[in-house]
Structure 1
Amino acid sequence: MRIATWNIERLRHKKFLEQILLACEQTQADILVLTETDHRVSLDYPYSFHTPPLTDLQPVFYNPTENRVSIYTNYPCIRQHKTCDEYTALCVELETDKGYMLVYGTIIGIYGNRHPSFQQSLVQQLDDIKRLSDSGIPLCICGDFNCSFSDGYYFTKPGRETLLRTFSDYDIELLTKNEAKCIDHIAVSKRFISNSGIQIAEWNQDKLLSDHKGIVVCFS
């Protein structure tokens, strides 16, 4: 199984659309979470799920094709679960070859971690994570956390500590914790990981296609 996430920066580099599409395809991800995304990024997956268009919120500021989170997957969806903010967090329950899993695609703090709204977004989404964890179904939290964990690249100490504490409390492993200059992450319930080997790879390290690197985790 391969799980990947990438923030494509509202397709600001749309002149490279073909390269962006190719980069997504080359991840060969079974589950791909795109954030700050756009429906012009059309991928060949059997199942896809999207937060509502952002023109519903601010028709002047956003393009009609923009939305914040999309989940593409090879696995069938059993149901969709409610989140604290339907525009910014998306949760689907998938039937994978390793069993059922909730995939929670998200952006924590749409204006970055220095904006006052970051803490509110963090609290609300952690409430989602706690509620979903209590369902007993393994959980994957995937997307733009606006927080690095292995260095001083981009983080707030309270945000970092709160996320790590919550993951620890609910037996969730932050698989991308040690990636340098990384604010886009994949965290998965430990019981789902079990004894799987984990390999991690990145793309767009030069940030020519977006101001974020993409990251993929492979379970073997």
Structure 2
Amino acid sequence: MKIATWNVERLRHKKQLDQIQGLCDGIHADILVLTETDKRLHPDYAFCCETTSLMGDKTIPYAVTENRVSLYTNYPVVRLHQTYDSRTALCAELKTEKGNLLVYGTIIGTLGNRHSSFMEQLHRQCDDIRRLSELGDGICVCGDFNCSFSDNYCFTQAARTTLLDLFRDTGLTLLTERQTECIDHIAVSSSMVTTKRPVLEEWNVDKRLSDHKGIVVTF
């Protein structure tokens, strides 16, 4: 299985939209979660789930085409599960060769990890993930966590500790924990990870098409 995520920075580099689209298609991920994205970018997948409209948001002037999270997959979507904020996080249950898988795609901290709203959003999303992880299916949590884990690139100690505690308590493995300059992450149920070491790859390392690197994990 191949899972990828990328924050495309609200298409600030929309003149390179063809290149961005080509990278998304060329990854050939089974599950692709894009954050800070835009309907003008639409990778070639059979199914797409999106967070709800941001029009009317008083904190950031969003365009009508923008949304915070989109999930693309060729796996059939069995159902959607409720999240605490449908504008910021989504959860789709997918039918995969490994059984049904819940994919929780998210941005943690829509105004960054130093804003007063960050810890509240983090705790609300942790509540989501704890509840969903009890459904008995495998779960994948991925997207923009606004927190690095292996360096001082971008993090708060409170966020790092809270997330690591969450993953331990819910039986998740943070596959991207050792990636440097990385705040976009992929965590999956530990039962999904075999003895073979997952393969991690990055793209947009020069951050020319977005201010985030993309990351894909194959396991």
TM, length-normalised to structure 2: 0.97
Secondary structure of 2:10's counterpart equals helix
- Tell me the residue number matched to 2:33: 33
The residue identity in structure 1 corresponding to 2:73 is T
Cα deviation digits, residues 51-104 of structure 1 (max 9, x gap)? 112114359811110000000001001110000000000000001111111000
CA drift at 1:114 = 0.4
Report the equivalent of 1:104: 104
Q: Which residue does 2:113 correspond to in 1?
A: 113
What pairs with 1:46-195 in structure 2 (closer than 5 Å)? 46-58=46-58, 61-195=61-195
Between the aligned partners of 1:212 and 1:78, the Cα distance in structure 2 is: 31
RMSD: 1.3
Identical amino acids, percent of aligned pairs: 58
Instruction: Provide closer, same or farther for how the CA distance between residues 11 and 200 of structure 1 changes in structure 2, counting only shifts above 3 A.
Output: same
1:197 deviates by 3.7
Report the CA distance between 1:174 and its aligned residue: 0.2
Deviations for 1:2-48, whole angstroms, at most 9, x for unmatched residues?
Answer: 10000000011101100100110111101000000000001210011
Closer, same or farther: CA 155–59 of 1 in aligned 2, 3 Å: closer
3-state SS of paired residue (1:55): coil
Answering whether residue 39 of structure 2 is matched by residue 6 of structure 1, we say no
TM-score (norm 1): 0.97
Displacement of 1:195: 3.5
For the pair 1:18 / 2:18, whether they are aligned, the reply is yes
Q: C-alpha separation between the residues in 1 aligned to 2:98 and 2:60? A: 44
Give the letter for the 2:52 counterpart. Answer: P
Give the secondary structure class of the aligned counterpart of 1:122.
Answer: helix
Q: Which runs of 5+ in 1 are unaligned?
A: none
User: What is the distance in 1 between the residues matched to 2:137 and 2:167?
Assistant: 15
Size of the aligned set, in residue pairs, is 219
Q: What SS does structure 2 have at the residue aligned with 1:29?
A: coil
Q: Distance in 2 between matches of 1:209 and 1:68?
A: 17
Q: What amino acid does structure 2 have at the position aligned with 1:115? A: H
Match of 2:123, SS?
helix
